Amino acid sequence: MIGWECAIDDCGVDFGSPEELIAHQETEHAGHECRVCGKRVADGYLAISHAFSEHTRAEYVRAYDANAKAIRVREEVLRTVESALDEPVSVTNETE
Ligand SMILES: [Zn+2]
Ligand SMILES: [Zn+2]
């Protein structure tokens, strides 16, 4: 089936829409500290969105020791989620 599967660690829970998936990642997972700027963001899609909108690919590669394939996979996730969302989801959170 085609669903929205949470890709954080071994979670693997399926959702019917990207909004539900993002809400799950924000509430059910511990969150993520950006390795570039140290900001707390929700894990999963929002962490990727933060890293790729706030930082350059070069910064991301350095901080996460990422390779070109890892970048491509994450860009694909962003494209897929963003094209499916009715409204853009803000990456800012209230823990600032
Ligand atoms: Zn999950
Ligand atoms: Zn950051």
Instruction: Render each residue's pLDDT in the chain as its tens digit; 96 residues.
Output: 468 999 999 999 999 999 999 999 999 999 999 999 999 999 999 999 999 999 999 999 999 999 999 999 999 999 999 999 877 766 655 544
Helix (H, G, I), strand (E, B) or coil at 6: coil
What are 14's strand-pairing partners?
5
Compute the distance between CA of residue 26 and CA of residue 41 in angstroms, rounded to an integer.
9
| Ligand 1: centre distance to CA 29 (Å) | 6
Cα end-to-end distance, the chain, whole Å: 38
| Ligand 1: centre distance to CA 44 (Å) | 8
CB 32 within 8 A of CB 9: no
pTM of the predicted model, to two decimals?
0.84
Helix (H, G, I), strand (E, B) or coil at 4: strand
Ligand nearest to the CA of 45: 1
CB 21 within 8 A of CB 42: no
Cα-to-chain-centroid distance, residue 72: 13
Cα torsion angle, 30, 6, 15, 34, sign: positive
